[in-house]
Structure 1
Amino acid sequence: MALASGGREHFGWGADRHMTADLFDALNQNTRATGQWGKKGAPKFPEYPRPKAKKKSHKGEKKRRLSVAEIYKQLTARR
């Protein structure tokens, strides 16, 4: 699943971690929206760091299916 999402940096990013990151961002936005900031304006809170997804190329290329052996080779390769 991680390789399909974009690479090794996606390992460990299941639904629970995505929901936690979304909750963190929602709490920051709620704080920003309801705070008493005065004339200065609300500060910009940083978003929770997430891995970047690879962009898919749509140049008419057919996606090749990977065998189980090829997926295993990618998962166990040392970088």
Structure 2
Amino acid sequence: MQRLPDTSLTVALASGGRALFGWGQDRHLTADLFDAINQNTRATGQWGKSKAPKIPPFPRPEPKKKAPEKQAKKRRSVAEIYKQFQRR
């Protein structure tokens, strides 16, 4: 997968799911910049005696969570495997 645009569906599916379609490097940087400006506003704003307002972060897509790994299979001896083939 070389030279595919980072906003392509193939890259999105490889990165975590269809929700990431259209989310290229530029969109991620824009969302990070938006959050950084909001944090700077909260930190340096003149709020007086009141608390700084909670500014919600830029909405980002949530990639699909990977399924939990299955437990390791129980080791079997050669005799057990042979018995399984004899049942057929």
Partners of 1:8 and 1:46 in 2: CA distance: 24
Q: Which amino acid is 2:52 matched to?
A: A
Deviations 1:16-61 (A, max 9, x none): 1100000000000000000011221100011111100222234158
Corresponding position: 1:40 with 2:50: yes
Corresponding position: 1:11 with 2:21: yes
Q: Are the equivalent residues in 2 in contact too, given 1:2–1:11 (CA < 8 A)?
A: yes
Query: Quick one: higher RCO (CA 8 Å, sep 6+), 1 or 2?
Result: 1
Consecutive unaligned residues in structure 2, runs of 5 or more: 1-10, 72-88
Q: Is the radius of gyration larger for structure 1 or structure 2?
A: 2
Partners of 2:61 and 2:70 in 1: CA distance: 27
For residue 22 of structure 2, give the secondary structure of its aligned residue in structure 1: coil
Stretches of 4+ aligned residues off by more than 6 angstroms: none
Q: Are the equivalent residues in 1 in contact too, given 2:38–2:55 (CA < 8 A)?
A: yes
Provide the aligned length of Structure 1 versus Structure 2: 61
Structure 1 vs Structure 2 CA RMSD: 1.6
Consecutive unaligned residues in structure 1, runs of 5 or more: 62-79
% same residue: 70
Partners of 1:28 and 1:50 in 2: CA distance: 16
Of residues 49, 56, 61, the one that matches 2:59 is: 49
Q: Are the equivalent residues in 1 in contact too, given 2:13–2:20 (CA < 8 A)?
A: yes
TM-score by length of 2: 0.62
